[in-house]
Amino acid sequence: MKTGDKLICINVDGLSKKIHMSSIPVLGGIYTVRGIPPRLKYWCDKPGVLLEEITGDMSVVNCFNGKYTLIECHFYQDRFMKLLY
């Protein structure tokens, strides 16, 4: 995935309105990649994606190297599939 790619949401399992986002993706919804957050070693090391249509709160994460990092809340890439058109 790269900035500008169009994605379709394929997995909303476990998402709730309580997450720190402006909204949650809709199954089958089309979204645009705004950016890819840095891969940090913290509680989960799955690749993430930032969307044009949804913004996340800024959060401080405690990485495994003992450093704290400010990062925007984001979604895992495996919730989306790139559209090929």
- pLDDT, tens digit (0-9, with 9 covering 90-100), for 20-70: 888 999 999 999 999 998 776 555 668 889 999 999 888 887 766 777 778
Q: Where is 68: in which H helix or E strand?
A: strand 68-72
**What pLDDT score does 44 carry?**
61
**What pLDDT score does 46 carry?**
81
pTM for this prediction:
0.82
